[in-house]
Amino acid sequence: MTEATNFIEQIINDELSTGKVNAVQTRFPPEPNGYLHIGHAKSLCINFGMKDKYNGKCNLFLDDTNPSKEKEEFVEAIKKDIEWLGFEWDKITYASDYYDDIYAFAEKEIMLGNAFVCDMTPEEISKNRGTLTEAGKESPYRNRTVEENLKLFREMRDGKYADGSKCLRVKIDMASPNINMRDPVIYRILREHHYRAGDKWCIYPMYDFAHPICDYMQGVTHSICTLEFEDHRPLYDWVGITLGFNPKPRQIEFARLNVTNLVMSKRYLKKLVEDGSVDGWDDPRMPTLTGLRNRGVPAEALKDFCARIGVAKANSEVQISYLEACIREYLNIHAERAMAVLKPLKVTITNYEGSEELDFDINPNDENKPTRKITFSKNIYIDADDFSLCPPPKYHRLKIDGVVRLKNAYIIKCDEVIYNEDGTAKELLCSYYPDSKSGSDTSGIKAKGVIQWVNAEDAVDIKIRKYGYLLKDEEYSGQDFSERMNKESVTEFNGKVEPYFMTADENKAFQFLRTGYFKKLTIKSGEIASEIVSLKDNFNK
Ligand code: ATP
Ligand code: MG
């Protein structure tokens, strides 16, 4: 048996060793009412992780018992996101596929004397439920006979009663300290079109009744869910025990993933899309899986993040810098390098004539040290931030009369500045040292700084976008999301890139030297260079 790396695996290992279970089956159970987000990635990694670890099975189970909010569009998006992460489900199942079974089990509860049709309205039921310190009141309909309950329940199914006028409840204990056990409703009347079941049903099962049945019908051994369902576990078990499930699936809860500066509730993400705060579910600032994919985050980096944060039983918040570090680490190894400048400053190399091709390192982390050709000429651009008119001490970039190395090219010296009317630098006149070429430098000149540049002759103009977070920092946490919204989460530069970047595939990640990781992205206004993650950690550890 493999060693357990978290408490869920510990439970499974114990069960395997005592023979309580002999195979492992999990399911990933999204409700198709929105797009998956990074929190779901954690649940996916846990559920599919168990499948891999124990050579078991994992289904994609669409938990569609809420007809009003569910759509086929979301089912398709969910499938695409899971495929992107590289997980393979054994089967796709739907709660709606089990409606007949769930209905039959409800009749069984009635026949066992465990369920009754209640004529109280939802408001009356909730009024009589009691409080944490006070027991609830029993329904006056609780003692109907089995025959009467069966007849009424079938009439409910056949459409004889108005929405909300009756419901089916199980008889447990109105004095239970767990409010979920106070005769919970398991079926309601609801005339609503279901995106898969159509208009076949006018009664729908509640989650707490449907879920254990669907788990059992699929052969799920471990029903892994988040902590807010802990109080529902007694009901999950009650359903399994009363209906004689053997083997009975076991529910195990783990802590939800929360990440600083990210909104994780579907409801709120939906609001951002609907009020136009973002450009859609796949906006690169969104913590949805489609957003992260569009941002250029590699699936491997996301899975690595989920593995490293681990599985805990207590809720906590993970620093977003940790997620960024995982992305950066992956891209540092895998991304090709390219040159780009965010704020172009024209440089004329007065003693250089013609043009030449130079070797450029594609990726210094690749042990084969691959190179490609870049062109060099007397007209180049450097980043305005790499030049200073009044440099602080130990400034190693370019300054008047100072030298700097142009990456994979020559050392240049700034001889003269041409100014804008406002006194800022408009253009630099520089000279180069012909014997200082990278790789064969015999000049003896020491340039402490190395900066990136692009050749003005072939560089391409492009909007370069950098992103901030959708939510302001932790110091604002506790405030409502709308107050924490960061209104300036996009910064756009009129930059220049090497032509090589423009010929690359949209999803290919590049490290723009000394700037960050970027990918090409097509938005309404055209192609942009879109930031994946900055190069350095913006945060104090
Ligand atoms: P939301 O509150 O964002 O709508 P949800 O829990 O309603 O999320 P579901 O579609 O029901 O979303 O979730 C599918 C699975 O993913 C469930 O097992 C759920 O517990 C899990 N899950 C959802 N959010 C997170 C999270 N932040 N961290 C870990 N698991 C999560
Ligand atoms: Mg849910």
Residues 323 and 350 in one domain: no
Spacing, Cα 30 to ligand 1 middle (Å): 7
Where residue 250 sits, what CATH number does that domain have?
Answer: 3.40.50.620
Best substitution site from 8, 43, 223 to test ligand 1's pocket, by max atoms within 8 Å of Cβ? 43
Ligand 1 atom with the smallest distance to the CA of 229 is 20
**How far apart (Å, rounded) are the C-alpha atoms in residues 301 and 473?**
23
Spacing, Cα 30 to ligand 2 middle (Å): 7
Q: What is the pLDDT of residue 487?
A: 82
Largest Cα–Cα separation, the chain = 102
**How far apart (Å, rounded) are the C-alpha atoms in residues 411 and 403?**
7
Number of domains in the chain: 3
Residue 452: inside a domain, yes or no?
Answer: no
| Residue 31 CB–ligand 1 contact under 6 Å | yes
Residues 96 and 22 in one domain: yes
Residues 327 and 351 in one domain: no
Domain extent, residue 245, equals 7-254
Spacing, Cα 40 to ligand 1 middle (Å): 6
Residues 39 and 61 in one domain: yes
256 counts as catalytic: yes
| Residue 291 CB–ligand 1 contact under 6 Å | no
514 counts as catalytic: no
| Residue 226 CB–ligand 1 contact under 6 Å | yes
In the set 31, 138, 300, 317, the catalytic residue is: 31
Residues 170 and 126 in one domain: yes
Residue 91: inside a domain, yes or no?
Answer: yes
- Its pTM stands at 0.92
Ligand closest to CA 265:
1
pLDDT in tens, the chain (541 residues): 678 889 999 999 999 999 999 999 999 999 999 999 999 999 999 999 999 999 999 999 999 988 888 899 999 999 999 999 999 999 999 999 999 999 999 999 999 999 999 999 999 999 999 999 999 999 999 999 999 999 999 999 999 999 999 999 999 999 999 999 999 999 999 999 999 999 999 999 999 999 999 999 999 999 999 999 999 999 999 999 999 999 999 999 999 999 999 988 888 898 899 988 899 999 999 999 999 999 999 999 999 999 999 998 888 889 999 999 999 999 999 999 999 999 999 999 999 999 999 999 999 999 999 999 999 999 999 999 999 999 999 999 999 999 999 999 999 999 999 999 999 999 999 999 999 999 999 999 999 999 999 999 999 999 999 999 988 876 655 667 777 788 889 999 999 999 999 999 999 999 999 999 999 999 988 999 999 999 986 543 3
Spacing, Cα 130 to ligand 1 middle (Å): 28
Q: What is the pLDDT of residue 191?
A: 95
| Residue 344 CB–ligand 1 contact under 6 Å | no
Helix axes 299-309, 320-334, angle to 10 degrees: 130
| Residue 32 CB–ligand 1 contact under 6 Å | no
DSSP3 helix / strand / coil % (the chain, rounded to 5): 30, 30, 40
Residues 284 and 238 in one domain: no
| Residue 41 CB–ligand 1 contact under 6 Å | no
Where residue 369 sits, what CATH number does that domain have?
Answer: 2.40.240.10
Spacing, Cα 271 to ligand 2 middle (Å): 17
In the set 53, 69, 108, 256, the catalytic residue is: 256
C-alpha distances (whole Å) from 89 to each of 47, 71, 149, 215, 428 are 10, 20, 40, 15, 59
Residue 448: inside a domain, yes or no?
Answer: no
> Please, how many CA atoms are within 13 Å of residue 129, restricted to the half-sphere of its CB?
19
Residues 418 and 291 in one domain: no
Domain end (from 225, 254, 283)? 254
Q: What is the b/e burial string over 24-59, where b = at least 16 CB atoms within 10 angstroms of the residue's CB?
A: bbbbbbbbbbbbbbbbbbbbbbbbbbbbeebebbbb
Q: What is the pLDDT of residue 474?
A: 63
| Residue 49 CB–ligand 1 contact under 6 Å | no
Residues 93 and 237 in one domain: yes
Q: What is the pLDDT of residue 429?
A: 98
Residue 391: inside a domain, yes or no?
Answer: yes
Dump pLDDT digits (tens) for 251-262. Answer: 999 999 999 999
Where residue 315 sits, what CATH number does that domain have?
Answer: 1.10.1160.10
Q: Can you read off the two tokens belonging to residue 253?
A: 């809860």
| Residue 251 CB–ligand 1 contact under 6 Å | no
Domain end (from 193, 222, 254)? 254
266 counts as catalytic: yes
**How far apart (Å, rounded) are the C-alpha atoms in residues 532 and 510?**
9
Spacing, Cα 213 to ligand 1 middle (Å): 20
Residue with CA at minimum distance from ligand 1 atom 27? 39
Residue 248: inside a domain, yes or no?
Answer: yes
Residues 428 and 526 in one domain: no
